[in-house]
Amino acid sequence: MAQIQINPNQATDIYNNGNILLPSYQPHIGIKNVGLATVKVSSHWAPPFGDYTQYSVIEVPPDEVGILLPPPNLICFFKVTATNLSGFLTAKIEMEVGTHNNPPWSKTA
């Protein structure tokens, strides 16, 4: 599990995966907000040649957990960006990478 600190009004890539030759399924990304600022987390995918397209977005309030769902199909490039929505508070999140079939912190063994 990685802990990430995000300055006010800042966006940062927190996960990046890709291969131009071998498309793959992407994992669920779990976000636990352990700070005081609300964080927006968005996933983006890209074909072998072209720009990133936004796939999904969640907002994770303080002391909450959010699961970002992966695209259902094989893709070449995938990234996740976290944005601190506060103009004056520093955000702190914990990120956990699951698998394509099982999200992190799931109840299944």
Q: Domain spans of the chain?
A: 2-97
pLDDT digits (tens, 9 = 90+) for 31-90: 999 999 999 999 999 998 889 999 999 999 999 999 998 899 999 999 999 999 999 999
CB 11 within 8 A of CB 81: yes
**Predicted local confidence at residue 108, as pLDDT:** 46
Cα angle: 40, vertex 46, 47; to 5 degrees: 165
- Model confidence at 106, pLDDT cuts 50, 70, 90, reads low
Selected from 3.40.50.300, 2.130.10.10, 2.60.120.680, 1.10.3720.10, the CATH number assigned to the domain covering 2-97 reads 2.60.120.680
pLDDT at 109 over 60: no
